[in-house]
């Protein structure tokens, strides 16, 4: 492989299918591929991920092994069950910076043991728009300075094990009402708003020594027509120049429609490098050798044409390589930490007291693409803790099915971001209005009161968040065996 193609490969971070590295991945890693990005489809358990990472490192020790492990709702290591650690919104609700650092350290130690060198977390976004379909509980909150302190603490925790953290999605996705997986968001934010709100957590991340920053595929009209990932003003002038970031800039996935549906992934890769990006993510949906070849060929062609300088490409490749391994590791995480933290995050409004085992109504809505098909629902947890609990999993239009199943039982209705789903809101309000003994458990961003007798906010759908809510309900339920 010639030197220019090797440089082009060195800035690519693709995904692949399978729980062991395919031959094409191993060959390209040996030849200088920047790294690989692991998804839930690549994970069986921690031991298997460690073996997978070791096999890649055997091909080239400094390869980047990345994963999108935020804790909370977005998890890859725990995709089969749900995260063993609460997510950012839960930690922000607690407001204990030392706990946040401890959770980050536990995550970093686990990732290091798995051989991961780069964690695409935490979100430095803010929860700014109620209609935001993609960030929600992935953010530490809505107040810029409080969230900034949380971001810095989480980064410090992750990086103490030698794993690189990644603050995302620059310049901040939380005010968007569009999902960049599906379309190109345009944020009508002034530069003054950005500097006093969205950029505050990114400044804190940089001050904390974050080793990478991920760009978001969103347009800031004040910065031009191109999304931040492809925008030189955003990456080179603001992120590097104004904010002083000197680490590696990682793109969000180029096959997301905000880029693939506008610039296209091949030209998008070249535009991202010209903007100042160093490591180009692809492979959530396009996960084969062909896409790696296509992107590398486009980059090489851009150098040959004079559009992209070899010097710029070499600088990007060097910064990308700084995120490689091996990692140093850290102390084994406390196995009870996640549940203890989740219990502290749970908030109760009203009087929580059930007359007996309830009917749990887990109202299912489609998760965001970022979250994916991770198990969700309170019913299985409460059924285990409280014999006699019955469970329904209707859609938002299941009112009649619920009423037919009540039979005098208390009802626990469980939602995720009810404020974003009109049918779900209407269902909860109607159940409350007919006088049921009703508890509403909200597992997303807390929204307005919908009239239930009591309300529990978990600030996330992680396994431990749902478990903590179930424990609280079980402890406040009258049972025959207590009489």
Inter-CA distances, 266 with 24, 255, 263, 318, 409, Å: 20, 10, 8, 21, 58
Query: Which candidate, 232, 238, 242, places its Cα nearest to that of 271?
Result: 232
In DSSP notation, 426-463 reads: HHHHHHHHTT--EEEEE-SS-----S-SEEEE-SS--H
With H, G, I as helix, E, B as strand and everything else as coil, classify residue 205: helix
Where do we find the tokens 């065996």? 481
Inter-CA distances, 284 with 87, 172, 200, 321, Å: 22, 21, 29, 21
Residue 243 to residue 325: CA distance in whole angstroms: 27
Among all residues, which ones are annotated catalytic?
Answer: 181, 252
- Angle (deg, nearest 10), helices 265-275 and 310-321: 90
Query: Which candidate, 406, 411, 428, places its Cα nearest to that of 419?
Result: 428
Residue 10 to residue 6: CA distance in whole angstroms: 6
Inter-CA distances, 215 with 171, 173, 212, 292, Å: 7, 10, 10, 20
Where do we find the tokens 């309830």? 358
8 Å CB contact between 115 and 65: yes
10 Å CB burial of residue 47 (0-12, 13-18, 19+) is exposed
Q: Which residues contact 481 (CB under 8 A, 6 or more apart)?
A: none
Residue 140 to residue 96: CA distance in whole angstroms: 12
8 Å CB contact between 238 and 171: yes
């Amino acid at each position: 492989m010639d030197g220019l193609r090797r440089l082009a490969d060195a800035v690519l971070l693709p995904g692949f299918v399978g729980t062991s590295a395919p031959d094409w991945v191993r060959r390209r890693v040996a030849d200088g591929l920047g790294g690989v990005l692991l998804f839930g489809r690549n994970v069986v358990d921690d031991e298997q991920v460690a073996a997978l990472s070791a096999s890649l490192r055997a091909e080239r020790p400094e390869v980047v092994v990345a994963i999108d492990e935020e804790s909370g709702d977005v998890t890859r290591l725990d995709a089969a069950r749900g995260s063993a650690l609460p997510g950012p919104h839960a930690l922000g609700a607690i407001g204990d910076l030392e706990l946040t650092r401890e959770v980050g350290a536990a995550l970093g130690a686990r990732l290091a043991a798995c051989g991961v060198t780069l964690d695409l977390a935490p979100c430095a976004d803010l929860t700014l728009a109620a209609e935001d379909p993609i960030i929600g509980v992935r953010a530490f909150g809505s107040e810029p300075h409080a969230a900034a302190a949380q971001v810095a603490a989480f980064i410090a925790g992750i990086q103490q094990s030698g794993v690189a953290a990644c603050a995302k999605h620059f310049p901040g996705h939380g005010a968007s009402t569009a999902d960049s997986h599906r379309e190109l968001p345009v944020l009508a934010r002034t530069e003054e708003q950005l500097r006093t709100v969205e950029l505050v957590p990114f400044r804190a991340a940089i001050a904390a020594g974050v080793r990478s920053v991920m760009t978001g595929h969103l347009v800031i009209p004040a910065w031009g027509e191109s999304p931040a990932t492809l925008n030189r003003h955003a990456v080179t002038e603001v992120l590097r120049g104004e904010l002083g970031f000197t680490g590696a800039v990682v793109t969000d996935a180029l096959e997301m429609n905000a880029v693939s549906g506008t610039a296209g992934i091949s030209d998008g890769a070249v535009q991202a490098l010209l903007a100042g990006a160093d490591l180009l993510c692809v492979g959530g949906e396009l996960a084969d050798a062909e896409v790696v070849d296509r992107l590398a060929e486009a980059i090489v062609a851009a150098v040959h044409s004079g559009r992209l300088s070899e010097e710029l490409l070499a600088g990007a490749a060097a910064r990308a390589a700084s995120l490689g391994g091996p990692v140093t590791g850290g102390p084994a995480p406390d196995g009870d930490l996640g549940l203890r933290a989740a219990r502290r995050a749970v908030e109760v409004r009203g009087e929580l007291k059930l007359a007996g085992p309830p009917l749990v109504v887990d109202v299912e809505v489609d998760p965001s693409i970022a979250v994916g098909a991770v198990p969700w629902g309170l019913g299985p947890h409460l059924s285990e803790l409280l014999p006699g609990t019955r469970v329904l999993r209707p859609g938002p239009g299941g009112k009649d099915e619920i009423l037919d199943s009540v039979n005098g039982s208390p009802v626990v209705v469980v939602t995720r971001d009810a404020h974003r789903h009109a049918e779900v809101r209407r269902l909860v309000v109607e159940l409350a209005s007919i006088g049921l003994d009703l508890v509403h458990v909200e597992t997303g961003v807390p929204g307005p009161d919908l009239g239930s007798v009591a309300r529990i906010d978990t600030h996330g759908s992680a396994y431990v968040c749902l478990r903590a809510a179930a424990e609280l309900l079980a402890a406040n339920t009258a049972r025959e065996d207590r009489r």
